[in-house]
Amino acid sequence: MSTFSFATVIVAFVVSTYGHDCTKYSLTPSDQSIIDMMKHYLHTSRKADCPVTPSKQDIGVTYVRWGKKTCPEKSDIVYTGQVGGNYYTNKGGGSNWLCLPNDPENGKAYSYSNDGLYGAEYQINSSNNPSGFPASLYDKEVPCSVCRRKGKVSVLMIAGRTSCYKGWKSEYSGFLVSEYKSYNSKDFICMDGDAEPLDNRSSNEEGALFYPVRAKCGSLRCPPYKNNTEVLCAVCTK
Ligand SMILES: *[C@@H]1O[C@H](CO)[C@@H](O)[C@H](O)[C@H]1NC(C)=O
Ligand SMILES: *[C@@H]1O[C@H](CO)[C@@H](O)[C@H](O)[C@H]1NC(C)=O
Ligand SMILES: *[C@@H]1O[C@H](CO)[C@@H](O)[C@H](O)[C@H]1NC(C)=O
């Protein structure tokens, strides 16, 4: 350790004594042409390593708008589809919700028993619908859209608010939903407050089921939260 530091000091000393650290010399024309040649060489050989500065049009963020077939006005649609998820009583398998495209490219059929991908259904009716949420969606399947907002670099879902913080723009807002608490576990997602059905079918086919979530005071501090209230959410970009 001390040998190393000593060596470092020696090297530093030698470099500072013999190294050409004066800066006030003038460049001769031939110096300049060497510099130009080297610059040209570096420029052509390293071009591929240069970071491309993206234009404001190239950058963007994507998010899923759950419950809608369209994207908000200022976002472009990447694709629209149907919400998929694991069967509500399965113990294993996926716990996230998927936005499955309407134009899938399907693999080959096989008989292995792990049939773990189902369509999602709204389980939201007049007995549990958050304010303004259409109760007529009960048992209907759920659409989704993958949206891209150009010119933004951050996207954030906030559970507990329906409006975004200063400097952020709301893409959509709605209600926090997930699988029912006694069924298998799934993610919380932000369902659009103006959700629509996938189509007109409403047979109770089951699958992955969406229920609204309400706040429970205790470990969750009240105030600021409020017991038994529907949990609002917003998707914000900046
Ligand atoms: C409403 O939804 C609840 C919760 O899923 C369910 O228990 C109840 O049977 C439903 N009622 C009607 C009228 O569909
Ligand atoms: C549902 O049915 C109505 C009347 O048949 C039709 O106008 C509408 O487009 C259908 N909606 C969907 C989502 O298929
Ligand atoms: C919240 O509501 C539940 C159900 O109504 C009740 O049992 C519980 O005591 C309430 N908690 C608080 C902190 O008010």
What is the pLDDT confidence band of residue 34, given thresholds at 50, 70 and 90?
Answer: confident
Q: Given a cut of 60, is residue 20 above it in pLDDT?
A: no
Q: Which has the minimum average pLDDT: 77-86, 197-206, 227-236?
A: 197-206
Task: Round to the nearest angstrom and report the end-to-end CA distance of the chain.
Answer: 49
The CATH architecture of the domain made up of 60-237 is Beta Complex (2.170)
Mean of the pLDDT values across residues 167-177? 97
Percentage of the chain beyond pLDDT 70 is: 86
What is the pLDDT confidence band of residue 29, given thresholds at 50, 70 and 90?
Answer: confident
Residue nearest to atom 5 of ligand 2 (CA): 200
Q: Which has the minimum average pLDDT: 6-20, 21-35, 48-62, 72-86?
A: 6-20
* Sequential DSSP letters for 89-152: T-SSS--S-EEEESS---------S----EEEEE---TTTPPTT--GGGTT-B-EEEEEEEET-
- Report d(CA 94, CA 123) in Å as an integer: 19
- Does ligand 2 come within 6 angstroms of the Cβ of 82? no
Q: Given a cut of 90, is residue 43 above it in pLDDT?
A: no
Phi, psi of 6, deg, nearest 5: -60, -45
130-168: pLDDT as tens digits: 888 888 899 999 999 999 999 999 999 999 999 999 999
Q: Could you tell me which of 21, 63, 40, 30 has the C-alpha nearest to residue 170?
A: 63
How many Cα atoms are found within 13 Å in the side-chain-facing hemisphere of 202? 13
- Report d(CA 226, CA 158) in Å as an integer: 17
Helices then strands, each counted (H, E), the chain? 2, 10
Q: How far is the CA of 179 from the centre of ligand 1 (A)?
A: 14
Residue 13 pLDDT: 43
Q: How far is the CA of 125 from the centre of ligand 1 (A)?
A: 6
Q: How far is the CA of 183 from the centre of ligand 1 (A)?
A: 16
Q: Which tokens is 107 given?
A: 């693999």
Provide the residue ranges of all domains of the chain, joining segments of one domain with +: 3-49, 60-237
What is the pLDDT confidence band of residue 10, given thresholds at 50, 70 and 90?
Answer: very low
Give Dmax over CA atoms of the chain in angstroms.
87
Q: Which residues contact 52 (CB under 8 A, 6 or more apart)?
A: none
Task: Report the nearest atom of ligand 1 relative to the CA of 139.
Answer: 14
Percentage of the chain beyond pLDDT 90 is: 66
98-126: pLDDT as tens digits: 999 999 999 999 999 899 999 999 999 88
CB count within 10 Å of CB 124 equals: 25
- Report d(CA 39, CA 47) in Å as an integer: 11
